[in-house]
Amino acid sequence: MGKIKFLQCRECKKEYAPTFKYICEECFGPLDVCYDFPSVNKNTFSNREHTYWRYHELLPIESKSNIVSIGAGMTPLIKAEKLGKALGLNNLYVKNDSVNPTFSFKDRPAGVAVSKAKEFGLSAVGCASTGNLASATAAHAAKGDFPCYIFAPSDIEHAKITQALSYGANFISVDGTYDDANRIAAQIGDSKGIGIVNINMRSYYVEGSKTLAYEVAEQLEWKVPDQLIVPVGSGAMLNAICKGFEELEHVSLINQVSNMHMIAAQPHGCAPIVDAFKKNLSEVTPVEIPDTIAKSLAIGDPGDGQYVLRRLKQYNGFAEESNNKEILDAILLLAKTEGIFTEPAGGVSIAVLKKMVDEGKIDKNDLTVCYVTGNGLKTTEVMMEVLKKPQVMQADVSKILALVK
């Protein structure tokens, strides 16, 4: 018997053996990994590799020989003093996942899912993606020697397509939305036995994202933040972060998890969870045609939407949106204060953080963590539209000198 006890339905609580399975046969609810954790303490993880695999006891890979790692995780938790001063916060931290090997947080869930695909002996992997997961899955597939199939809407950023193709992935560009690509990936994955990391591997895939809780807790010397601002597309990351903190409490590494506040950040034009939260609904109405520059969050029918709503209620949270201008302003604010260049999804987090402060929902002394999930170099097109174009000058020192103040 390994450390995984069973898979459990999130809805009806029916238990299943930890196999290549992701939905409940009784009620079609999602299946979560439940563990029989070994005994750990704060010293267990010290002096280990600086990747998220330092927490392998708490992750769903039974044999370390099956781990497929490209060195992701243990990304910086920056004390954002200049940004904090600009917003009126004394205790603000930015979790900068834009510096992962494929430049987004998706290296975490993709790495766990591809490792589990290796453990299951699958012959190929793939994903449905708005861009970042395509690159993360393709990179891990290359490292793990898997054929890889990417299903993505045709209008995602060119840099993200280029990146995934460079790792050798088979890229299927779908003329439609992310939800169209997701539906096609699900059908092909099931018919061909391909491990689609965020669909039929989802029970294991989401476990990678909970390392965003593990790392923040360890980097804060095992303290629990008062406020966490999380960008939300499908909602899986926010739900996984909550699960991560709860597991740390279960193994007695932290306490008082119930005191933290979760804040879900979505872009205007694709904010179905924010809409449901503000109307006090328990179900999410899908957005048919997302319209936002934050394409990595443009998931109109979020798979974990109702669970995010439950988490917000559980953790006294909020959900808020930001429009395109607020997103671009926030990207520049973060870049000019902390030297971090994020893609629009990270801009959504910073913009919503500012709104929460302006509305008095975050106190200036709260221990606040804002998650920045992707790198701005993936989405330069949207930024060039608002930045001043450099003036081409003759190579003449006297003429250029006049421009230098």
The answer to whether 259 is a known ligand-binding residue is: no
262: tokens are 């979760």
Confirm if 199 and 185 have CB atoms less than 8 A apart. Answer: yes
Say if residue 53 is exposed, middle or buried (CB neighbours under 10 Å; 0-12, 13-18, 19+): buried
**CA gap 307, 327 in Å, rounded:** 25
Crossing angle of helices 158-166 and 132-144, in 10° steps, is: 10
132 is in an annotated binding site: yes
Rounded to 5 degrees, what are φ and ψ at 93?
A: -125, 145
Asked if residues 127 and 197 have their Cβ atoms less than 8 Å apart, the reply is yes
Rounded to whole angstroms, the Cα distance separating 273 from 267 reads 10
Q: CB atoms < 10 A from the CB of 321, how many?
A: 25
Residues that constitute the known binding site: 132, 373
Residues that constitute the known binding site for pyridoxal 5'-phosphate: 132, 373
